[in-house]
Amino acid sequence: MKIFIPYLLLASIAISSHAAKKITITGNDTMQFDTKEFTVKAGEEVELELKNIGKLPKLAMGHNLVILKKGISALKFGQKIMGMGASATNALPEASMEDVVAATKLLGPAESDVITFTAPKEPGDYQYLCSFPGHFAMMRGVMVVK
């Protein structure tokens, strides 16, 4: 039976190495993400939770978190989607998805959303923002892929 012990050890190591990297970020009523930068490894599984810890109604102060492809500026993206007619009820127009790596739902007060995605294979800085109209001025950050 001894022969099975190393096999079981290897199996458990393999399982633990597949655990997703977990990140939790909050957004509040003063248009702030509590995390402006986080780091992931290229190609790893990421489980990202966004919590809206505010109290204001979703139509006035909804939040999401949208991670953009490498080289795309959150400021420029925020302006671009306003030109596409982004609104409180359509904060992330379908046509803008070509610039997006991953995005949570738009959340009202006390709501949260968990998304899982595979980190890009290419190292570098990936900007993120809240795409609720106007929030990109304040709610931005960087996902660093190493």
List contacts with Cu ion (CB under 5 A). 63, 130, 132, 135, 139
Q: Are 122 and 144 in contact (CB under 8 A)?
A: no
Q: Are 49 and 23 in contact (CB under 8 A)?
A: yes
Q: Are 126 and 145 in contact (CB under 8 A)?
A: yes
Q: Could you tell me the smallest distance in angstroms from the CB atom of residue 59 to Cu ion?
A: 12
By C-beta, is 126 or 132 nearer to Cu ion? Answer: 132
Decide: residue 130, CB within 10 A, 0-12 exposed, 13-18 middle, 19+ buried.
buried
Closest CA to 27 of 78, 61, 74: 61
By C-beta, is 10 or 137 nearer to Cu ion? Answer: 137
Q: Could you tell me the smallest distance in angstroms from the CB atom of residue 31 to Cu ion?
A: 6
By C-beta, is 17 or 30 nearer to Cu ion? Answer: 30
Residue of this chain nearest to Cu ion (CB atom): 130
Q: Could you tell me the smallest distance in angstroms from the CB atom of residue 14 to Cu ion?
A: 39
